[in-house]
Amino acid sequence: MNEDDIIKRIRVLYPDAAIDIQGEGCDFEVFVISNTFQGMPIVKRQQSILHLFAAELADGKLHALSIRAKTYAEMEEAKSHLVQLEI
């Protein structure tokens, strides 16, 4: 599985998503930002994406898929906290 395949599959469920992927082969870390996550617990966000790759995870085509999923507002809030930490 490659990065383009992963992005295409996530975009089917989250068309507004900004997606960043690190990794190669069968081990990836995926960072997804989508407003669709609004009100959704973190575990449900991760499960919704993992579900898209259940077959590949089961048969070993994907060994590991780490997921970070946030809304655009959560990203802005995180940026504002980082700015406050600057001295």
Question: Cα–Cα distance between 8 and 13 in angstroms, integer?
Answer: 9
Question: Cα–Cα distance between 30 and 22 in angstroms, integer?
Answer: 7
- Of residues 20 and 24, which shows the higher confidence score? 20
pTM above 0.75, yes or no: yes
> Domain with 24 in it: what CATH number?
3.30.300.90
| 35-52 pLDDT tens trace | 999 999 999 999 999 999
- Total number of domains in the chain: 1
Domain that includes residue 46, residue range: 3-85
Instruction: Report the chain's terminal Cα–Cα distance, integer Å.
Output: 43
